[in-house]
Chain A
Amino acid sequence: MSAIRQRNVALILARELAVNVATPMWVWDESGSLVYYNDHVAAMLGITNGGFDISELGELSQFSPSDLDGTPIPTPELPSAIATGRREPAHREMTILGRDGVRRTLTVTAFPLFGRGGAFVGAMSVFWQRDGDSS
């Protein structure tokens, strides 16, 4: 019976929150794999028509995340990486370059998820886009 994969209920409910809100959110599992993103995240990244193909933290560098002064942000310093890797909350303002060529200013809050028993089960990131489309 152990062959049946079962996500932790905390991760299930986190995903369902992301499903049911209009705020961009994504959810990572305990191994650092992206297990859910909502449509609003895809739009924020300038990805349309089901072309979302991100599954690992290492792939986020393609969006050229930078501080507001233009300094590139290394992947391990991204809030999602901190929440999944160090299991600590993180908050940051940044810009990203979307697949559509548009640079957007975002605020990101990421936080680790611990199940009822205290075990780390993954992380969740919430995004706020701070400006309209500006290139």
Chain B
Amino acid sequence: MKIRIWGCRGSLAAPGPSTVKYGGNTSSVEVRLEDGSLIVLDAGTGIRDLGRHIAAGEPVKKINLFLSHLHLDHVEGIGFFSALWNPDIELHVWGPPSPLRSLQDRIATLMSPPLFPVHLADVPCRPIYHDVPEEEFMIGDARIHVAPVAHRNATVGFRIEENGRSFAYIPDHEPALGIDLERVEPEWVSGFSVAHGADVLFHDSQYTEDEYPDHRAWGHSSVAHTVLFGQMTKVKDLVLFHHDPAHSDEQLELHRKRAKELWGGNNGAPELAYEGMEIELKG
């Protein structure tokens, strides 16, 4: 599979000269499977450019859009995703279930006046909505595993496995909330089954260790928590994702330096996510 980042900023889009290197668009990641199937992870502002990229390339008939949760920074780009306006594309939207309101109803709250000029029911594409199942399911030849993870409001992490290679995506996650990650058994760590042994993990890394105490229970991780989670889940490559909008490129590079110190050694040393980052996992 081929993975490309179109947005990796957390909370709020942060364009400007201080974020040029790692990007200011909120979460959106393209995953192309071996058979050409297209999965899009989250619909932050990065999905706008992804949609333009898709429209300019080989015609796409079907897209699976996986939403980790419905916080604004992960769905605010959906109305600007070109596929939504193309009646020839079969768009499947997957998201965390709720016993109170359907996924479609929850997204429609965002895509309706006065927040958006067009009702979701009126877009040319007719999206097909799915609650993510508890059981694994298949997209093309890829096996998808989804699990609820610790974050504010219903949130899931995704694991995509194809030809023996695996990519885990947990963009918003606070596994260390109330837990000593160094002492607790793995089955009691949020997100463990999603990340365990993954070739690549994209993981929330919003705060520095100094910032975290003032943001405890906000649903995000410090750099140190992210490194510890990556180590305990034995991921091969860890990518620091969901950069705080207040963090400049220079600050993020200090985060990477700190992450590498904590990681130790060179194998799988944490890297910073950036717009345009591409990773290929070959079977």
User: Which positions in A face B, CB cutoff 8 Å?
Assistant: 1-2, 4-10, 12-13, 15-17, 19-20, 114-119
Contact = CB atoms under 8 A, between A and B. Distances in A.
Contact of B98 (A6, A10, A17, A117): A117
B234 to A, nearest CB: 11
Nearest to B131: A117
Given A1-B161, A117-B97, A15 B149 contact: no
A93 B99 CA distance: 33
17 contacts: A1-B136, A1-B143, A4-B196, A5-B193, A6-B147, A6-B192, A8-B148, A15-B188, A17-B178, A19-B178, A116-B98, A117-B97, A117-B98, A117-B154, A118-B97, A118-B98, A118-B99
Contacts, number: 65
B178 A117 contact: no
Most A Cβ at <10 Å: residue of B147, B148, B186, B192: B148
A117 B145 contact: no
B208 interface: no
Most A Cβ at <10 Å: residue of B98, B99, B188, B196: B188
A115 B149 CA distance: 11
A6 B154 contact: no
B187 A5 contact: yes
Most B Cβ at <10 Å: residue of A8, A16, A115, A116: A116
Contact of A12 (B131, B136, B159, B188): B188
B273 interface: no
Contacts of A15: 188
- Sorted from nearest, which 9 A-B pairs have the closest CB atoms? A118-B99, A6-B193, A16-B178, A117-B97, A116-B154, A4-B193, A9-B148, A5-B187, A9-B190
A60 to B, nearest CB: 23
B67 to A, nearest CB: 14
A12 B147 CA distance: 13
A2 B136 contact: yes
Nearest to A17: B178
Nearest to A20: B178
Contacts of B150: 9, 12-13
Nearest to A13: B150
A76 B135 CA distance: 31
Contacts of A9: 147-150, 190
Contact of A13 (B97, B98, B177, B187): B177
Given A13-B150, A17-B178, A1 B187 contact: no
Contacts of A6: 147, 187, 192-194
Contacts of B99: 114, 117-118
A15 B177 CA distance: 12
A87 B200 CA distance: 39
Interface string B220-251: 00000000000000000000000000000000
A117 B96 contact: yes
B166 interface: yes
A114 B179 CA distance: 21
Nearest to B97: A117
A14 to B, nearest CB: 11
B154 A1 contact: no
B134 interface: yes
